[in-house]
Amino acid sequence: MAHEVRNRLSELRRDFHRHPEPGWREFRTTARVVEELERIGVDEIAVGREVLATDERMAVPDASELEPWRERARQAGVRSDVLERTADGNTGVVAVVEEGEGPCVGVRVDLDAISMRESTEDDHRPAAAGFRSEHDGYMHACGHDAHLAIALGTIEAVKDGDFEGTLKVFFQPAEEISGGGKAMAEGGYLDDVDYLLALHVGLGHPTGEFVAGVEKPLAMAHVTATFEGASAHAGKAPNEGGNAMQAAATAIQNAYAIPRHSDGMTRVNVGSIEGGTASNVIAEEITIEAEVRGETTGLMEYMRTELERVLYAAAEMHDCDVTPRVVSESPRVDSHPALRDLIGNVAWGVPGVDRVVPATDFGASEDVTYLMQRVQDNNGLASYVLIGTDHPTSHHTPTFDIDEESLDIGVAVLSETAIELARRRP
């Protein structure tokens, strides 16, 4: 039966892999999850606006970017009821399984892919085996396709198992752009969750290894800013207008020079820039994409405040305007040690798991922290676990792939953990 399950999980994962969709545009992915849930038969399937605090969504593209994906989904045969419920980029699903009295256990996975052209090389298995991305320029290069398969498998396993309580699985949109975490955390379905399990595959851990709890994700804010000055002829009127190029250069230099903080690690980066029209025109408009991070939420906020001060002063210096906009944000929340220990103990008994790492530092950012925060604020416990999988190349590369063996290991650990947690009274 394990073989059969794995086949089904592999098929599911490959179907998701073939149809990657970027954040807030996971129309087909949402529909596919719904279909699968209907097939499994769960007690409640909530979609889109029903599961999101819509106004808390971050980094939502405008209609011109949403519509082509929605249209593509429509033409691919996606059901109109799902398309309606996900209108305006309100993607996402929550599945609820009720199995009597007991605690509420949550599982969180993510729906979105990234913009990257998948490899066509023969030694890239998705290409060789025929499940390479069919959406050119987009790819499941981070393993969210595997997360979806594991989540769906877990629901089945829990239903089949000796579980007493409620299972809620959160299929969150827009993780890659830190856009969906907050909206889902505040969407209502999380409010009665006692234990939250978030998961990720790989991240350097091989198949058979399992990390019971991730610590020290960096809190993060993604900030965009457009300097607006006034253009003028660089030869005839160099003194007129406001030079957005000089404002941006001053801001960038000083952004990297924001002082280190005694309380811990910080980060700052200006990752992209664009603007100006021609070499002989004073640049009127320059846009930068920046981010700041901190070992704690407070440190991230220190960096964001300082970055904003730098941006405003640089604009002022060159007679320009600027309005920094926080596109998305995620706090730092650590896995709870008690839950981590419990999960680690369960994992030891799961076939296929040959090494359990109690905890590991993260070093990157994840907006699941919004959900973890919410649960812990409500006196629940949360842990972010890593399911090892052999991956030939790094996440976010065109030849990323996973070892499908890890799919049912993931299902086993998660379902066993859920069952074990249900046994305990919160």
- Residues lying near a second copy in the complex (CB under 8 A) are found at 218, 220, 222-224, 233-240, 243, 245-246, 248-250, 252-254, 256-257, 259-283, 286, 289-291, 293, 302, 309-310, 312-314, 316-319, 363-365
Q: Rounded distance, CA 32 to CA 147, Å? A: 14
Q: Rounded distance, CA 109 to CA 411, Å? A: 12
Under a CB-based contact definition with an 8 Å cutoff, are residues 134 and 19 in contact? Answer: yes
* Comparison of 24 and 189: residue with beta carbon closer to a second copy: 24
| Beta-carbon contacts of residue 191 (< 8 Å; ≥ 6 apart) | 374, 378
Q: Is 200 annotated as a binding residue?
A: yes
* Comparison of 305 and 345: residue with beta carbon closer to a second copy: 305
Least distance to a second copy from the beta carbon of 18, Å? 24
Least distance to a second copy from the beta carbon of 339, Å? 25
* Comparison of 54 and 224: residue with beta carbon closer to a second copy: 224
* Comparison of 365 and 417: residue with beta carbon closer to a second copy: 365
Q: Going by DSSP bridges, is the β-strand pair 325-330/93-99 parallel, antiparallel, or unpaired?
A: unpaired
Least distance to a second copy from the beta carbon of 388, Å? 18
Per-residue tokens: 31? 């529909």
Q: How far apart are the first and last CA of the chain?
A: 33
Q: Is 322 left (phi over 0), alpha (psi -120 to 50) or beta?
A: beta
Under a CB-based contact definition with an 8 Å cutoff, are residues 416 and 165 in contact? Answer: no
Under a CB-based contact definition with an 8 Å cutoff, are residues 228 and 322 in contact? Answer: yes
Q: Count of CB atoms within 10 A of residue 257's CB?
A: 10
* Comparison of 168 and 216: residue with beta carbon closer to a second copy: 216
Q: Is 144 annotated as a binding residue?
A: yes
What residue has token string 């995620």?
330
* Comparison of 7 and 253: residue with beta carbon closer to a second copy: 253
Q: Is 104 annotated as a binding residue?
A: no
Length of the chain: 426
Closest CA to 374 of 159, 195, 253: 195
Least distance to a second copy from the beta carbon of 235, Å? 5
**220: which strand partners?**
293, 330
Angle at 388 between CA 128 and CA 385, to 5 degrees: 130
Least distance to a second copy from the beta carbon of 55, Å? 23
The helix (run of H) or strand (run of E) holding residue 4 is helix 2-18
* Comparison of 130 and 271: residue with beta carbon closer to a second copy: 271
Least distance to a second copy from the beta carbon of 259, Å? 5
Least distance to a second copy from the beta carbon of 359, Å? 17
Residue ranges for the known binding site for Mn(2+) are 142, 144, 176, 200, 396
Residue ranges for the known binding site are 142, 144, 176, 200, 396
